[in-house]
Structure formats: C-alpha cells, structure tokens
Copies of this chain bind each other. A is one copy, B any other.
Amino acid sequence: MAEPTPTNTLDDAAEEALSPAFVRSVVDAVDRADKTLVRQLVLPLRTADLAELLELLRPDERQDLVEMLGTDFNPEVLSELDESVRDHVIELLDPKDLAAALTEMDSDDAVYLLEDMDEAEQRLILDQLPASERAALEQSLDYPEYSAGRLMQRELVAVPPHWDVGQTLDYLREAEELPHEFYEIFVVDPAYKPVGTVPLSRVTRSKRPVLISEIMETEQTLIPVEMDQEEVALQFTKYDLISAAVVDEGGRLVGVVTVDDIVEVISEEAAEDIRLLAGLGEESISDSVLQTSRSRVPWLMVNLVTATLAAAVIALFDATIEKMVALAVLMPIVASMGGNAGTQTMTVTVRALATRDLVHFNARRTIAREFFVGVLNGMIFALILGGLSALLFGNEWLGAVFAGAIMINLVVASLTGILIPLGLDKLGADPAVSSAVFVTTMTDVVGFFSFLGLAALILFY
C-alpha cells in the first residue's frame, strides 16, 4: 500500500497536478521548513488543487504550509475545502485578510464561507466589511439554511425588454458591478419582475438593432427564494438549466442560481442519501478517530436495540430450538434473505422519491408491483431453500417450514421496503434517514418469528 505503482487506479484522477510523488515532495519541503521550495511548488497550483493538497496534509503540516504562503495564500481556496479542514484554515488566517477576500468574491461564495462559522467569527469578519456589503450578506444569511436564498448570488445582469442588442452590449461593456461570469441575461419589467431570459450566446449571435424582447425566451423557470436546494437541483436537472432567476414573494428578481453551485448540491445530496442509508452522520475522510466514532455510535446504538428485539423473538422459542438445533443453523438465512430483499426495495423507493419518479399518481401501482415481485422471488427462493434443506437434513417437514418462512419474509420485505419510505415521506420525514432500520428490524423479527413459529407449530405440535 505504501509505494505507488504505475498500474494503480487510485490516483488516475490526479495524474498531473497532484501525483503522490508531488504531494510527498511538498510534505518533505514543509517538514524541512524549506520555504522557498514550498512556495515554488505550491503557488502555481490551481485553487482546487491547493484545496486537495491541504486536505491531504496533517494539521501541523497544514498550519506550516499556510504560514509559509503568508499573504500569497489565496482565500478562494476556502470554499473548496471540506468543513473540518476549512474551519482549521480559517483559524489560521487574519480576519482582516479574510474580510478583504470576501469583498472580492461573488456573494454566493461569501455566504458559503460565512454560513458555517459560529456567530462570533461571523461578527468578527462582517464588522470589517463596508456597510452596504455587510447589509447584503446579512440579508442572505437571514434566508433559511439550504434555501435558494443562500445558494444564489446577487450579482446578475438584468435589462428591460425594449432595449436592443446594441444597447445591451454597450451596457455590458460599461457596467461596473457585474458578476465575474454569467451565461444568461434576465429581462425584467419596470417592477423588476422577470419577463424572460436570453442566453448570452443568442445576444452575441444577433445584430445590434434586434430587440431583446424578440430574442428572449418567455418560458422560464423561476426559483422562489425560500425553495429548498434539493428542489432547486431537481428543477435544474429536469429542465437542463445553466442559471435560473430567483424571485422574492412579490415575484421580483433578487438573485441568480448558477449550475456550478447545483453540481455541488447534487453531489452533496446524493452523498447524503448514501450516508443516511448506511447510518452515517456527516463525516469525511479527514475527520479524527474520535469524531468518526462519535458519528457512528448513534446508529450502532439503534441497531443494538433492534437486534435485541430480534433476539427477544428468538428467546420466545428457546424450547423449540433445544429440540432441534438445526433451527438455529437455518434461522439466520431467513433473516438475511429478508433483509437483503427489503433493502433492495427500500433503496429503489428512496431514490425514486428523491428524484420524484415515484409520485402519488403511480404509488398504488408501484406498491402492487413490489408485492408481486416479493411473491415471485419468494416462490423462487422458497423452492430452492426448502428443497435443499429437506434433502440435507432428510426432513421434508423442516424443508416445508423453511420454505414457508422464506416466502412470508420476502413478501413482508417487499411491502415494508416500499411502505415504510412512502409512509415516512407522507409524514414529512426524510425517508433516507430511518427507513433502513425499520425495514431490517421488520425482516429480522418477521424472519425469526415466522421460521421458529412455523417450526413450533408444524414440527412439534
């Protein structure tokens, strides 16, 4: 694991910029306190590469590196860092430098940095800003977390519909307070309500006298400022948007969300679903042992309770097991097949809810489908497992009990796999958070109960 080999797939991504050899040489230079070499290696890096490097370093090395870079440290790196690393680097910087950097950023990036700081840190930085910018940032921070208002930038290009392309181009050349980059121009009425959108490429492809109203798209996706970012991402994905106008309750244009922020949101939300399905908190690879343990113990504790519930079901039948130890051998198979089948259905359901492929209109049909899938797969595995166990233990009644329990558990698995996430969604809870524990508890309990119960009833009654 120590020496990188050329055939290795781990580092395919970072081929040029951050090869293991490069990282190693930076670390060596930092450890030797060779400031000149460190700066020579690190200063030409692109922002995202410097962020990646900082995440790879140990905290003490990271501190040394930031100090060696001094005022040449580019604060734009901050918005690319993992939360725990970002907190660390922010501590290392002078609030004055940080405030100066914020004024240079588009407002969405500035908000992104500020929102994760605690109250005192935020104050410290905001107090260094000019009043107008401070007010604007404070207003953005007033929007709910994970809302479009936090995601949007205030810098945008808006023109009236009666302008022509020539006027618009002249305005773009002269105006001061424009975003760093933009891809669409918003067309607004005198009340600043959006009436259309023009892709910038269409502006450049039209002759100067053409009116904006002639080339604008009137079919637009307006994002309410309070909309949850997951919902915003769904709109972008569905309509293939590059940017979208954000409007307040009065329908007035207040900002713009761009697709680069949405790419971030989509990655984060998918990662969150994956984490939640596996019972993980917000953890990243750069967390410490204690942080990691603390994030994982709660879920293991929940699992302890549910596993104990399943054990209690087994304890009900200890007399039955005593009569035939083969039951203890086979029972985990019933539970495990049910758990897997339930997880399959649950995963499909949670994803389909997240992407809105599962809606009211097709809910009933989908539940019916899952039921029949459970029956079909139940029959397949009941036949296989019942037959095999009857042969192996020379006891066809044991085979029948095993087959019956598998059948019951796979149908229950299918139904709970879809009904539990649907129910949680209906209650307004995130189905990714808690579905897994309900589903596997259900399949464990039903698996043990049906198998041992059938055995007690049929084999020993």
Binding site for B on A (CB under 8 A): 1-2, 4, 8-14, 20, 23-24, 46, 48, 52, 55-56, 82, 169, 172-173, 178-179, 181-183, 199-207, 219, 231, 234, 236-242, 259-260, 262-264, 266-267, 270-271, 273-275, 277-280, 283-286, 288-290, 292-293, 296-297, 299-300, 303-304, 306-308, 310-311, 314-315, 318, 321-322, 325-326, 328-333, 335-337, 340-341, 343-344, 346-348, 351-353, 355-364, 366-367, 369, 372-373, 376-377, 380-381, 384-385, 422, 425-426, 428, 444, 448
Q: Are A307 and B336 in touch, CB under 8 angstroms?
A: yes
Which B residues are in CB contact (< 8 Å) with A381?
Answer: 300, 304
CB–CB A359/B242 < 8 A = no
| CB of A436, distance to nearest CB on chain B (Å) | 9
Which residue of chain B is the closest to A182 with respect to CB atoms?
Answer: B201
Is there an interface contact between B328 and A314, defined as CB atoms closer than 8 Å? yes
Return the contact of A183 from the options B179, B183, B304 (Cβ within 8 A). Answer: B183
Among B205, B241, B279, B426, point to the contact of A172 (Cβ < 8 A): B205
Q: List the 5 closest pairs (A to B, CB-CB), nearest first.
A: A270-B270, A278-B347, A328-B328, A307-B336, A318-B325
Number of copies: 2
Q: How far is the CB of A272 from chain B (nearest CB, A)?
A: 10
In contact, B347 and A330 (Cβ under 8 angstroms): no
On whether A279 and B340 interact (CB within 8 A), knowing A263-B266, A285-B352, A304-B385, the answer reads yes
Nearest CB on B from A435, distance (A): 11
24 cross-chain CB contacts under 8 A: A1-B364, A1-B367, A9-B428, A10-B353, A10-B425, A13-B234, A13-B359, A20-B359, A172-B205, A242-B242, A266-B266, A270-B270, A277-B278, A278-B344, A283-B348, A285-B357, A285-B366, A293-B373, A293-B376, A303-B340, A304-B384, A307-B337, A322-B325, A332-B444
CA distance A266 to B236 in the complex (A): 13
Interface centre among A326, A351, A360 (most CB of B within 10 A): A360
Q: How far is the CB of A217 from chain B (nearest CB, A)?
A: 11
Min CB–CB distance A252 → chain B (angstroms):
19
State whether A300 touches B242 (Cβ < 8 A): no
Q: Are B293 and A347 in contact (CB under 8 A)?
A: no
Known contacts being A219-B46, A364-B1, is A329 close to B314, with CB within 8 Å?
yes
Q: Do B238 and A48 have beta carbons less than 8 Å apart? A: yes
Residues of B within 8 A of A326 (CB): 318
With most chain B CB atoms within 10 A of its CB, the pick from A239, A357, A359 is: A359
Contact A329:B315 (CB < 8 A) given known A204-B203, A275-B347: yes
Nearest-Cβ distance from residue A230 to partner chain B, whole angstroms: 10
B residues near A303, Cβ cutoff 8 Å: 336-337, 340
| Chain B residues positioned under 8 Å from A310 (CB to CB) | 332-333, 336
- In angstroms, Cα B242 to Cα A179, docked, is 15
Check A237 against B259 for contact (C-beta < 8 Å). Answer: no
A240 and B241 alpha carbons, distance in the complex (Å) = 15
B-side contacts of A11, CB under 8 Å = 359-360
**In the complex, A273 Cα to B274 Cα: how many Å?**
8
CA distance A15 to B442 in the complex (A): 34
B173 touches A199 (CB 8 A): no
